[in-house]
Homo-oligomer: A and B are copies of this chain.
Amino acid sequence: PPAGGLSAQSADPLPSWNEGPTKQQIVSFVEAVTDADSPDFVPEAERIAVFDNDGTLWAEQPMYIQLAFAIDRLHTLAKEKPELKEKEPYRSILNGDLKSLAAGGEHAILEVLMATHADTTTDQFSAIVADWLETARHPKTDRPYTGMVYQPMLELLAYLRASGFKTFIVSGGGVAFMRVFSEKAYGIPPEQVIGSTIVTKFEMRASGPVLVRLPKIDFIDDKEGKPVGINRNIGRRPIAAFGNSDGDLQMLQWTTAGPGRRLGAIVHHTDAEREWAYDRDSHIGRLDKALDEGRNDGWTIIDMKQDWAQVFPPRN
């Protein structure tokens, strides 16, 4: 039917997706909830789709991109504060030894994130991230990090928006980091990015008001935190959720448990050649429980190797 104005229905909105059940499940979901004559129709205002970021919208190997930023920033800070060079875990990291960081687990990583992400104003921090993104390159592909986004997911985001969806990021990553590139990289504006936060404080200075970032955790938007963050910033339950690890389990449960038709989907990293292959035993993006539950509950499992004709966008 020509109504609805979905150009998506004439041309293939997902050219980087191979034909098959995965693509079919996605398209059939979108057609059902946007067709006013379908029993599954959902009014436009309620078409909320949420996306994890690391490993779902862009690559997270060999380390989270935000951690690569933190390490580069640590080198800059060590020039201003040489005492950092004497203190673990900073000393090892500055010497290029990431083993102790890995051994220290999430706690050690958090400490490094705090040390490198706080004690600036919000405007200063955004500028630091923007500068870094301009010059930093991925160690394996030598691309700018914003070139490590997944082309099929960019098409999916655009397809959903053309179908009246509002697309949100819901990530364990730092919100202030992601908001610097989310609009340009994904077409997702800052107000639709939900992530982990550190405490921020309003301060009136002689030069005017500022928001200062403090080295204190405010909110961790991961696991049980994801539905909480969704509720806090969106205030209604999404009808579609995309993740890639056990950190997305509760977001997928929360989304798919709602009434009416729902789409829960997992990006499964199965392509060691074009990207990386990892799941149950990975330290980064471990996918174990959510894979089992996804298979049992009929979530869409996106097999990167099989379902994606192309992984990354063409190089400029």
Contacts and interface: CB of A to CB of B under 8 A. Distances in A.
Nearest to A218: B232
Contacts of A209: 227, 250, 253-254, 257
A253 to B, nearest CB: 5
A231 B45 contact: no
Interface in A117-145: 122
A236 interface: yes
A45 B232 contact: no
A122 B231 contact: yes
Contacts of A232: 175, 197, 200, 233
Interface stretch (A67-75, A83-91, A186-194): A186-194
Nearest to A46: B189
A193 B224 contact: no
Interface residues of A, number: 35
Contact of A234 (B48, B191, B204, B250): B191
A185 interface: no
Given A189-B45, A209-B254, A235 B175 contact: yes
A97 interface: no
Nearest to A250: B202
A201 interface: yes
A191 B235 CA distance: 6
Interface of A: 45, 48, 122, 166, 175-176, 179, 183, 189-193, 197, 200-202, 204, 208-209, 211, 224-225, 227-228, 231-236, 250, 253-254, 257
